[in-house]
Amino acid sequence: MLRALRTDRSKLIAGAAIILLALSLGWNLHQQGMNHDLADDLDLQRNENVRMVREQRDAQQDLVLARTELSRQEEHAAELEAERHRAQDEVAGLRMRIDRLQGAAAEAGRWKKDAEGLQQAKAVLEQQLMEARSGLDRMNGEKLALEARNLALKQQIDQLAADQATIDQSLLQAFQGRKERMTVVARRTRKVQLTMMLPPGLAGQVDYRITDPAGRTINGDDPAVSVITFAEPGPLLAGGEAAPTGNDRVKLVYDPKEKLKPGLYKIEVVKGDRRLGTTYIALR
Q: What is the length of the chain?
A: 284
Q: In what order do the strands lie in the sheet with 242-254?
A: 181-182, 168-176, 191-198, 242-254, 225-236
- Helix or strand run (H / E) with residue 93: helix 2-107
Single-letter code of the amino acid located at 236: L
* CB distance 143 to 79 below 8 Å: no
Is residue 218 within 8 A of residue 254, CB to CB? The reply is yes
Q: What is the pLDDT of residue 144?
A: 82
- Of 131, 128, 272, 251, nearest to 207 by C-alpha is 272
Question: In angstroms, rounded to a whole number, what is the distance separating the alpha carbons of residues 272 and 250?
Answer: 18
Cα separation of 265 and 225, whole Å?
14
The architecture CATH gives domain 166-283: Sandwich (2.60)
What are the residue boundaries of the structural domains of the chain, listed by start?
Answer: 64-163, 166-283
Residues 6 or more apart whose CB falls under 8 angstroms from that of 187 comprise: 259, 260, 262
CA–CA distance, 73 with 157 (Å, rounded to integer): 14
Q: Name the nearest CA neighbour of 207 among 129, 267, 147.
A: 267
Round to whole Å and give the CA distance between 64 and 56: 12
Q: In a structure prediction context, what are the per-residue pLDDT tens digits for the chain, which is 284 residues long?
A: 545 545 666 666 766 667 777 666 666 666 665 556 566 666 666 776 677 667 667 767 777 777 787 778 778 777 777 777 777 777 777 778 777 777 766 665 556 666 677 778 777 777 877 887 887 788 888 888 888 887 877 776 666 565 555 555 577 877 887 777 888 888 888 888 888 888 777 878 888 898 988 999 988 888 988 888 887 766 655 555 655 666 788 888 888 888 888 988 888 888 888 887 788 888 88
**Strand arrangement, sheet containing 207-211:** 217-219, 207-211, 263-271, 274-283
> What integer pLDDT is reported at residue 110 of this predicted model?
58
Distance from C-alpha of 73 to C-alpha of 141, rounded to nearest angstrom: 15
Prediction pTM value: 0.45
